[in-house]
Structures are given as structure tokens and as C-alpha cells.
Amino acid sequence: MNSSSKLTVKDIATIGMMAAMLEAVKITFQSVPNVEFVTLFIILFTLYLGPKTLIAVWAFVGLECTVWGFGLWTVMYVYIWPILVFLTLLLRRFKSPWPFIILAAGFGLSFGAFCSIPYFFIGGVHTAYTWWLAGLPYDVLHGASNGIIAAILFAPLRALLNRIKKS
């Protein structure tokens, strides 16, 4: 990957493949509640592509809107996935997989809290808090599944991406 801020043809092709992969893993696991690989892939893509991953994330959101239409969740996706990119960029210097496993688990656990932000503007603190609290059991499952998936797959997938980057 080109580390400069300019997008190359290779960057554009890579970003397109990343967005397609995010959509493919989202659709593949949609029947399993709160088990998703998108978080892990965004973390890995950010380690591989850096801030340019934001383009792949927003392309993924666009693909999601094409498949599912627009709704309040669209607003949530526009800011939630970039938060994950920024948090990953902050942890980028770590070689150990554990900060990224913890990030994946924590992100899943806090997903509902992030999603409650628009409800704050719609109905105030009580509405946002009630919405978040109602989904808390699902957030616990989301965080646990993200942590398990990352613990199993982070290291081998990161090694694979590093090999691809070198070739």
C-alpha cells in the first residue's frame, strides 16, 4: 500500500475489495445475532491501509444502504465504524494482538452505547439511556463474540496481510 495521502490505482482497487469483503462477511453472518466479523476486518484493514480505511468503511456503509435501504442505523454506521478506525490508529504501534482483541471486545460491548447517540437528540437522555439499556444483553453477546473471534483470528489474519503487503 502506498503510505502517502494520495490515492493510487492500487489503493482504489484495494479499498473496493475491502468494502466488498466487509459486506460479504456482514451478509454471511447476518443470521447469527450479534456475531460479526466486520469489527475484526476493520481493525485489520486499518493496520494495513491506515486512515485510507475510512474510504472502505464509508463504501461499506453505502453498500449496506443499497442492500437494506436508509434508516436511523445509517446515521449510526456513518460515525460508529470510523470511531473504530480512529481507535485502531491509536493502538497501531502495538505488536501484541491483545490490545486489538480488547478493542474488538470493548467495541462490541459499547456498540449499543454508540448507537444511542441519535436517540439523545431525538428524545433526550432518558430515551437514549432506555434504548441502550434495553439492548445491553445483546451488547454483552456482541462484545464476547468479537473478543473470541479476534482472539482466534487476529494473529493469523494479520500475518497474512503482512505477507500480502510485502509481496
Q: Give residue-wise pLDDT tens across range 10-53.
A: 999 999 999 999 999 999 999 998 899 999 999 999 999 999 99
The angle formed by the CA atoms of residues 97, 11 and 85, to the nearest 5 degrees, is 40
Q: For the chain, give the mean pLDDT.
A: 94
- Mark the ranges of the chain whose per-residue pLDDT is less than 50: none
**Could you tell me which residues come within 8 angstroms of residue 104 by beta carbon, excluding any fewer than 6 positions away?**
39, 40, 43, 146, 147, 149, 150, 154
- CATH architecture assigned to 9-166: Orthogonal Bundle (1.10)
Cβ atoms of residues 95 and 67 within 8 Å: no
What pLDDT, on a 0 to 100 scale, did the predictor assign at position 7? 87
What pLDDT, on a 0 to 100 scale, did the predictor assign at position 4? 61
What pLDDT, on a 0 to 100 scale, did the predictor assign at position 3? 53
Domain ranges in the chain are: 9-166
pTM of the full structure: 0.93
